[in-house]
Amino acid sequence: MTLLKVEDLKVHFPIRGGFFRTVVDHVRAVDGVSFELEEGETYGLVGESGSGKSTTGKAIVKLNKVTSGKILFEGQDIANYSSRQIKPYRRDIQMIFQDPYSSLNPKKRVLDIIAEPLRNFERHSPGEEKKIIQDYLDKVGLSPDSIYKYPHEFSGGQRQRIGIARSLTLKPKLIIADEPVSALDVSVQAQVLNFLQDLQEEFKLTYLFVGHDLGVIRHMCDRMGVMYRGRLVEEGTSKEIYNNPQHIYTKRLIAAIPDLEPSVREEKAIARQKVSEEYEQSYSKYFDEKGRAYDLKPISTTHRVALP
């Protein structure tokens, strides 16, 4: 079943200028993006910095106002819901952010940090609440006495687990994870990623994974969409995107992945150079006169490419 369907989503931010601060132009952060998430799958959004990945994620959780387009969650278009209408969906769709340092209130105990969203939706006695929260702490691998501690008493990886526990108490259906491990040490990244995969099984979660680290996205995702300047340039299974990229931008993104293996480094550098030249030569084949990517066209049942 389709859980989320994003249709021709646009999020434009006004740029103000002049003495009266009038709107002089717009940043087309997201400029016509469509994709679907099946229940239980992990879908990745990749692309370089500023391509509109986070803006897309934030529009889905209503942290960004939608300029136009549809966001169908379980068939309901929530794109223009008021704050009252959106309330029940606030449980179902949760976002995990990149920075485990700034996303937790440093003045609050873990108990109150995790309980906060829950208190918006459910009434529990203090005893019950404590038990629920300790249960979730246990699920994310933190000890029960963590509830009395403050964020600074934890490591980066542990803080990210606290943030995850906080999202889970509402039993969401969809989790949007925006670079959830990029602020963590490489040594704990894999640990948190594996842990997110375990949670997916246990809670039957659907993930929208946002990031610029193709290695991470490939490891986590069944399918992915490649974003460039607010548009999707290619979509397919992780395997298709990696082994058979069709859009010149995707090719370039993949060629840019650094290789640690010394024996292939030179080979990679040559490949990178070749893609770079191909990019220059074939630019007009892949982008219109305004430099915008075309709409996605299917080239197989799972693979779509932005071509004229």
Rounded to 5 degrees, φ, ψ at 225 are: -120, 135
Distance CA 212, CA 154 (A): 26
Binding to ligand ATP by residue 54, rule CB under 6 A? yes
The least CB distance from residue 55 to ligand ATP, in Å, is 3
Among 47-55, 109-117, 165-173, 194-202, the segment contacting ligand ATP (CB under 6 A):
47-55
Binding to ligand ATP by residue 13, rule CB under 6 A? yes
Write the DSSP assignment of 83-143 as a string of letters. Answer: HHHHHHHHHHEEEE-S-TTTSS-TTS-HHHHHHHHHHHH----HHHHHHHHHHHHHHTT--
In the bound state with ligand ATP, the residue whose beta carbon lies nearer, of 129 and 231, is: 231
Binding to ligand ATP by residue 50, rule CB under 6 A? yes
List the one residue from 22, 49, 82, 301 that touches ligand ATP (CB under 6 A): 49
Nearest of 287, 301, 201, 303 to residue 252 by alpha carbon: 287
β-bridge partners, 70: 7
Binding to Mg ion by residue 103, rule CB under 5 A? no
In the bound state with Mg ion, the residue whose beta carbon lies nearer, of 34 and 54, is: 54
Distance CA 200, CA 65 (A): 28
Distance CA 174, CA 209 (A): 11
Distance CA 296, CA 231 (A): 9
3-state helix, strand, coil in the chain (%, to 5): 40, 25, 30
Residue 189: name its binding partner from Mg ion, ligand ATP, none (Cβ under 5 to 8 Å by kind).
none
List the one residue from 6, 29, 37, 176 that touches ligand ATP (CB under 6 A): 29
List the one residue from 7, 27, 80, 124 that touches ligand ATP (CB under 6 A): 27
Binding to ligand ATP by residue 26, rule CB under 6 A? no
In the bound state with ligand ATP, the residue whose beta carbon lies nearer, of 29 and 104, is: 29
Residue 13: name its binding partner from Mg ion, ligand ATP, none (Cβ under 5 to 8 Å by kind).
ligand ATP
The least CB distance from residue 174 to ligand ATP, in Å, is 18
Distance CA 166, CA 139 (A): 11
String of contacts with ligand ATP for each residue 206-225, x by CB under 6 A = ------x-------------
Distance CA 72, CA 92 (A): 13
Of 38-57, which residues contact Mg ion (CB under 5 A)? 54
The least CB distance from residue 136 to ligand ATP, in Å, is 28
In the bound state with Mg ion, the residue whose beta carbon lies nearer, of 54 and 189, is: 54
Q: How many CB atoms lie within 10 A of CB 169?
A: 22
Among 32-40, 48-56, 156-164, 218-226, the segment contacting ligand ATP (CB under 6 A):
48-56
Q: Which amino acid is at 93?
A: I
β-bridge partners, 10: 31, 68
Binding to Mg ion by residue 189, rule CB under 5 A? no
The contact set with Mg ion (CB under 5 A) reads 54
